[in-house]
């Protein structure tokens, strides 16, 4: 468990306007001709958007959690499945003129970023009704008072200002010189088999208020996705900043670095909020209570177990489906495929997810 070591915080309550406040920049961030969020200070360093109060607020809530003797959830990097194709495989493809799979992967990233806007539609129930202890002055109390909205704006942009969706598109288009985007990316994402687990909608904690359960499930899922994205974004930065395969190693690599900086508050407010809930007691619909720890650990454990297995498999299957076709542009597709396969990373998901869910019959 890691804990922030900030100076004693004095403020724990913020207005939505404050949590959305970006301050001013010396120079704006322009990506692919689109004015984006964030900007550069007088030293030329990139500064993430909406962080004037959001950053100190998250630090303050984390410090409070530590002062109260509660742990902060840490999702181990060891659980992060590797990207498929890996960095060496991606560079091999690009060196051989096989761009389609990489263009596809980068386009999927930009689309997923845009989907991040749905976080603003997550309903927050009356926490005073369902949580035994007070949530005043916590991240939980600010979810629908600026935190979800700031997150949504970071991912998909806001009004005329671009967000991560536009920034990834710009990185892709400068590095790979405005490649042709396969027309079926979105369609294949939507139609992807996905193992059918989505349709079942089994409730892991049916004794909870459905709105609360949905919110916690969404927060846990997005938190894991954000942690895992770290590996994907590292992949993107390493591929796009290599001058051998990228036409704009500095600009494209720098753009991905800016995006990565913006992701930090997403992971931090989510794991802080989940940890705050973990430290509390939740009321059930039948008038009993259940430990927050049981619920939060149960949700995270279940999702981590599933995602560490399904994600690498889905990603690999998806790529292999069109790899043969894409490789036809290479001078010797057969030799290229052999070389590609020889570079494959071997990875097995860790046996345990690092969370031991307690079993409590409510
Ligand atoms: Fe993002
Ligand atoms: Fe994010």
Q: Which ligand is nearest to the CA of 119?
A: 2
Q: Check residue 66 and give its pLDDT.
A: 94
Sorting pLDDT into bands at 50, 70 and 90, what band is 358? Answer: very low
pLDDT attached to residue 192 = 56
Instruction: Name the strand (E) or helix (H) holding 38.
Output: strand 34-40
Global confidence as pTM:
0.91
Here the tokens at position 194 are 């996905």
pLDDT of residue 219: 97
Report the separation in Å between the CA atom of 98 and the middle of ligand 2, taken as the mean of its atom positions: 29
Looking at every residue in the chain, the average pLDDT score rounds to 91
Q: Give mean pLDDT, residues 285-304.
A: 96
Q: How far is the CA of 274 from the centre of ligand 1 (A)?
A: 19
Alpha helices in 116-163 (DSSP H): 127-130, 148-156
Domain boundaries, the chain: 16-342
Distances (CA, A) of 52 to 23, 91, 122, 150, 194: 6, 38, 24, 12, 39
Hunting for tokens 């088999």 — which residue is that?
193
Confidence of residue 279 (pLDDT cuts 50, 70, 90): very high
What residues have CB less than 8 Å from 269, skipping those under 6 apart?
A: 54, 58, 61, 139, 147, 151
CA distance 214 to 225: 16
Cβ atoms 148, 27 nearer than 8 A: no
Among the bound ligands, name the one nearest to the CA of residue 264.
2
Query: Could you report the per-residue pLDDT of 198-243, keeping only the tens digit for each?
Result: 555 689 999 999 999 999 999 999 999 999 999 999 999 999 999 9
- List, in sequence order, the alpha helices (H) in the chain: 16-19, 54-67, 87-95, 100-115, 127-130, 148-156, 164-175, 185-191, 197-200, 210-240, 249-278, 292-327, 333-342
83: Cβ contacts below 8 Å, ≥ 6 apart: 105, 231, 232, 235, 315
* pLDDT tens digits along 14-23: 999 999 999 9
Confidence of residue 10 (pLDDT cuts 50, 70, 90): confident
* CA of 56 relative to ligand 1 center, distance in Å: 20
Q: Round to the nearest angstrom and report the end-to-end CA distance of the chain.
A: 28
Q: Which ligand is nearest to the CA of 114?
A: 1
């Amino acid at each position: 468990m890691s804990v922030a070591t900030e100076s004693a915080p004095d403020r724990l309550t913020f207005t939505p306007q404050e949590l959305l406040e970006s301050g001013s920049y010396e120079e704006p961030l322009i990506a692919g001709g689109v004015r984006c969020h964030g900007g550069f200070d007088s030293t030329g360093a990139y500064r993430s958007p909406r962080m004037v109060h959001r950053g100190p607020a998250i630090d303050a809530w984390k410090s409070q959690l530590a002062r109260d003797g509660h742990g902060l959830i840490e999702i181990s990097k060891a659980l992060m499945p590797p990207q498929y194709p890996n960095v060496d495989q991606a560079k091999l493809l690009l060196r051989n003129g096989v761009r389609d799979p990489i263009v596809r992967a980068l386009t999927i990233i930009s689309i997923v970023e845009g989907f991040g806007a749905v976080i603003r539609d997550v309903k927050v129930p009356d926490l005073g009704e369902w949580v035994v202890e007070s949530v005043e002055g916590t991240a939980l109390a600010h979810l629908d008072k600026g935190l979800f909205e700031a997150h949504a704006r970071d991912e998909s942009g806001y009004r005329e200002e671009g967000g991560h969706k536009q920034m990834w598109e710009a990185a892709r288009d400068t590095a790979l010189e405005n490649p042709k985007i396969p027309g079926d990316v979105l369609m294949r994402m939507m139609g992807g088999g996905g193992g059918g687990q989505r349709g079942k909608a089994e409730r892991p904690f049916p004794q909870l208020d459905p709105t609360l359960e949905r919110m916690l499930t969404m927060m846990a899922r997005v938190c894991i996705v954000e942690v895992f994205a770290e590996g994907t974004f590292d992949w993107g930065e390493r591929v796009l900043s290599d001058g051998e395969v990228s036409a704009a190693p500095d600009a494209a690599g720098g753009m991905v670095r800016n995006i990565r900086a913006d992701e930090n508050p997403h992971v931090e407010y989510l794991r802080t909020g989940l940890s705050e809930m973990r430290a509390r007691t939740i009321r059930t619909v039948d008038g009993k209570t259940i430990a927050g720890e049981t619920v939060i650990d149960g949700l995270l454990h279940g999702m981590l177990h599933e995602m560490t297995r399904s994600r690498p498999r889905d990603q690999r299957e998806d790529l292999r489906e069109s790899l043969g076709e894409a490789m036809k542009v290479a001078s010797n597709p057969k030799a290229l495929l052999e070389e590609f396969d020889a570079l494959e990373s071997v990875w097995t998901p860790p046996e345990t997810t690092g969370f031991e869910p307690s079993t409590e019959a409510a």
